[in-house]
Amino acid sequence: MDLFTYAAEKKKEQEAPLAARLRPATLSEIIGQEHILGKGSLLYRAIEADRLGSLLFYGPPGTGKTTIAKVIANTTEAEFRQVNATIAGKKDMEEVVEEAKKNKGMYGKKTILFIDEIHRFNKGQQDYLLPYVEDGTVILIGATTENPYFEVNPALISRSLIFELRPLGEEDIKLLIQRALTSDKGLGGFRAEIDEDALLFLAQQAGGDARRALNAIELGVTTTERAEDGLIHITLAVAQECIQKRAVRYDKSGDNHYDTISAFIKSMRGSDPDATLYYLAKMLYAGESVTFIARRIMICATEDVGMADPNALTVAVSASLAAERVGMPESQLILAHAALYVATAPKSNAGCEGIFAAMHMVKEKGDLKVPSHLQDAHYKGSSKLGRGIGYKYAHDYPGHYVNQQYLPDEIKDETFFHPGVNGYEKQIREYMAFLETL
């Protein structure tokens, strides 16, 4: 490299976005992804020992797929080549393969090929790589935001280890922002400080995306005027501007969190669809866990709707599964669907009151004996013990019902379930009254 080329490269490096400048060079510098990069893990050991096979990294943007590939590039003795599937064509692949063949044949050196956005390659491009991955000419490392089982050639998948990267946690994002503010490679020269509430806000609103958080803090530091004390102060107001989102009072471990979820549940219970949507939106906007919200909807469906509309629980459970599989932002539609169903369904807590009353009875009366005619009679000699004698099989009688005692003798006249007059429970009341006439 001549002097001018070197100077151009240094200038390019200095002017690169903060996320690129701060990209880790070693395994120890990587933040997050402990489930696959913890010390002693398979991937950690393979990178350290430079004994890699073909890999596929799958996960949302900003979670470290390219970063891990760059760390591998810094630690491996193999030739490392990188292409981006959004702009690379078959000719680029042919050049890499030819170079890899020479490295292997003439120098006994491996070639690692990193393909970013590998799902953008069409079937023909992926098929072209297959024989060279199979015979070891190249070691493939692919990165994709899409599910590889849907977007990548099954033959390539079968020859690769797949590692799913997860969104970074709030603490990871906070650590990353603090590193950016103090690092010489980052924003250390600006002498900037960030308020605790601004740091928490950015960590929450980044959505697990390291790049989004770093872009926001870089914008904040480089556009905020220096204060009289000589420092640049990143306040909550600045953080809101940088990430283009207003802060909501919603500390996930504080009162506002519990107040909001309480209001959400009470709005569903109170059959107010508008308030239900408002509090749902507030939680989603603040970055509340989709799983947490779905769990509360399921509880409300059975506690406050219950048998007045037995389908409410089915809708809530289905929505919970769908929200987990689809993810945000589409999950907000699924959760709204379920919350509105519960809010507008007829209400009853008869099932809830019934189980509480039954639990209280068990606690008070202890282990009451099961009536002998209901006891298990599916074994030899049961009749000699009086088990099952006198039991009436309901399907042998008109209406598939026969009047007989089911509760223990001591509480045979107790009633735990009192169906109301709303929704399906009205039909239950009518049916139970009909049975009494048989």
CA–CA distance, 240 with 310 (Å, rounded to integer): 43
Same domain for 178 and 157, yes or no, is no
Same domain for 174 and 229, yes or no, is yes
In this prediction the pTM is 0.57
The CATH number of the domain holding residue 121 is 3.40.50.300
Same domain for 160 and 177, yes or no, is no
Domain stops at, among 115, 136, 164: 164
Q: What is the mean pLDDT of residues 177-186?
A: 93
Q: Is residue 282 included in any domain, yes or no?
A: yes
Averaged pLDDT of the chain: 87
What is the per-residue pLDDT across 211-226, written as a single tens digit (0 to 9) for each?
989 999 999 999 999 9
Q: Which pair of tokens denotes residue 112? A: 């690692």
- Worst-scoring range by mean pLDDT, 73-87, 93-107, 182-196, 397-411? 397-411
The CATH number of the domain holding residue 198 is 1.10.8.60
CA angle 69, 207, 88 (to 5 degrees): 35
Q: In sequence order, which residues have a C-beta less than 8 Å from that of residue 55 and are 6 or more positions away? A: 43, 140, 141, 142, 160, 161, 162, 163
Q: Is residue 83 included in any domain, yes or no?
A: yes
Helix (H) / strand (E) element for 352: namely: helix 350-365
Same domain for 63 and 157, yes or no, is yes
Our count of domains for the chain comes to 4
Same domain for 43 and 142, yes or no, is yes
pLDDT of residue 254 exceeding 90, the answer is: no
Q: Is residue 421 included in any domain, yes or no?
A: yes
329: preceding bond cis by omega (within 30 degrees):
yes
CA–CA distance, 48 with 76 (Å, rounded to integer): 8
Same domain for 40 and 144, yes or no, is yes
Any idea of the CA torsion for 132, 138, 141, 146, to the nearest 10 degrees?
A: -20
Q: What is the mean pLDDT of residues 103-121?
A: 91
pLDDT of residue 10 exceeding 60, the answer is: no
The CATH number of the domain holding residue 405 is 1.10.3710
Same domain for 70 and 147, yes or no, is yes
CA–CA distance, 305 with 368 (Å, rounded to integer): 31
Of 57, 102, 58, whose CA–CA distance to 79 is shortest?
102
322, amino acid identity: A
Roughly what angle, to the nearest 10 degrees, separates helices 196-205 and 170-182? 120
Domain stops at, among 220, 243, 266: 243
Q: Is residue 404 included in any domain, yes or no?
A: yes
What is the per-residue pLDDT across 304-318, written as a single tens digit (0 to 9) for each?
999 999 999 999 999
Q: Which pair of tokens denotes residue 155? A: 């033959």
pLDDT of residue 201 exceeding 90, the answer is: no
Residue 11 pLDDT: 54
Domain stops at, among 309, 344, 379: 344
Burial class of residue 266 in the structure, from the number of CB atoms within 10 Å of its CB (0-12 exposed, 13-18 middle, 19+ buried): middle
Same domain for 151 and 69, yes or no, is yes
Percentage of residues in the chain having pLDDT higher than 70: 92
What is the per-residue pLDDT across 37-57, written as a single tens digit (0 to 9) for each?
998 899 999 999 999 999 999
Domain housing 234 = 170-243
Any idea of the CA torsion for 201, 205, 207, 208, to the nearest 10 degrees?
A: -30
The CATH number of the domain holding residue 332 is 1.20.272.10
Same domain for 125 and 218, yes or no, is no
Q: Is residue 3 included in any domain, yes or no?
A: no
Residue 221 pLDDT: 93
